Structure 1
């Protein structure tokens, strides 16, 4: 049972760690940007299809108009030759092509409206994409600043000022001790120098006295 509990805790920890990564602000924003990029790609593909349909309808309209005009000329020629049966067949084809032309024009206009709406949607997607990219830059900057402040606060909170003060006090005590030793050494050095000077003066006084007595005796 203990082993199963430990395994469950490990699995849950991994799951929570994964969720934390997924819920990271930057990761979430990256996901939104990827989704927007996918929508833009789909919109571009749809636009390509729409433009293809527009060209196709333009071609069909031109072909049916040309064919209707051709059948109209054929009907006129048949009438001039009193070939009513041929004229009727030509007029029938002319009307069919005119109807097709009308239908193609309606479909063409509907396609153009869809294309215009698609252009508008693509523009909005591009604006949204640029907005998300701008927000990403701002959020990354803010996140880096927040992390830097958090790290600094962690360092400051872990800094033991009491130990630092004690350390400086110990250093100051050592400096004071060295200063005292230096002062004592200097005092004894001066004392010894003074003693030697005094001894030297007494010896000179004796010589001076002897020289004085000798001078008096010579007189």
Structure 2
């Protein structure tokens, strides 16, 4: 099957099924573009050679046409000289006939060469059309390749995500979160318990020091009362 015939089927199938199949669409497209570019180079070289041959035939036809005109003019000059008595009439007729024969031969060659030129020119036009079409296809497939690569990347990423989501144990994840939550609650309760134990173990001196250290105003009031008592005594 032609490589491009296979590529046309890519758009009709899911990207996953193509990737998982025997043919990689990206490699196929890249290979197709390489082959098309190689063909473009060969076609361009062939067109150049064909145009060169066409130009050559055209130039040869023009040369033969000019040769025919020259021989006709020579025949005219010979007849004119014979009429003026410059050349023997019999000899003039003989030479004029030979000139006209060459003129006729050159004219036939010119027509034949012009026909070959026309055919070659038509072939050049046809080949130029094929080359233009080939260039268009190359540009088209290069754009298709960019789109195809993007589709493959997106599809592969989506496939990986979906696969991970499928393999993920939702129940296990929820269970782990519940265990973590329970552990945090237990740690908070344990910290509160240690705080209560620490407060319960304080002596009376600790309580006094705590009041003194944390309430300067209360210490000042106690000091005033103590001084007033001492004065009464």
Q: Normalization by structure 2: what TM-score?
A: 0.69
Distance 1:129 1:174 in 2: 64
- The residue correspondences of 1:9-158 to structure 2 (distance < 5 A) are 23-79=23-79, 80=81, 81=87, 82=89, 83-158=92-167
Output the CA distance in 1 between the equivalents of 2:183 and 2:37. 69
How many matched pairs?
Answer: 183
- SS of the aligned residue for 1:47 comes to helix
TM-score, structure 1 as length reference:
0.74
Residue 188 of structure 2 is aligned to residue 188 of structure 1:
no
Instruction: Please say if residues 22 and 28 of structure 1, whose CA atoms lie closer than 8 Å, have aligned partners that are also in contact.
Output: no
Q: Aligned Cα RMSD in Å?
A: 2.6
Helix, strand or coil: the match of 2:201? helix
Task: Name the residue aligned to 1:12.
Answer: none
- Matched residues in 1 for 2:147 and 2:71: separation? 67
Distance 1:133 1:199 in 2: 86
The answer to which structure has the higher helix fraction is 1
Q: Note closer, same or farther for the CA distance 1:74–1:22 as it changes in structure 2 (3 Å cut).
A: farther
* 1:153 CA drift (Å): 1.6
CA distance, structure 1, for counterparts of residue 188 and residue 21 of structure 2: 60
Rounded to whole Å, the distance in 2 between the matches of 1:96 and 1:22 is 66
Cα gap change, 1:189 to 1:49, in 2 (>3 Å): same
Contact 1:67–1:94 under 8 Å retained in 2: yes
Deviation per CA, 1:130-178, whole angstroms, max 9, x where unpaired?
1111111111111111011111122222333333323223322322222
Which stretches of structure 1, 4 residues or more, deviate above 3 A after TM superposition? 197-200
Rounded to whole Å, the distance in 2 between the matches of 1:179 and 1:70 is 120
CA distance in 1, matches of 2:104, 2:97: 10
Cα deviation code 1:31-54 (max 9, x no counterpart) = 322232233223212211221012
Query: Which runs of no fewer than 5 residues in structure 1 stay unpaired?
Result: 1-19, 201-211
**Bigger Cα displacement from structure 2, 167-176 vs 148-157:** 167-176
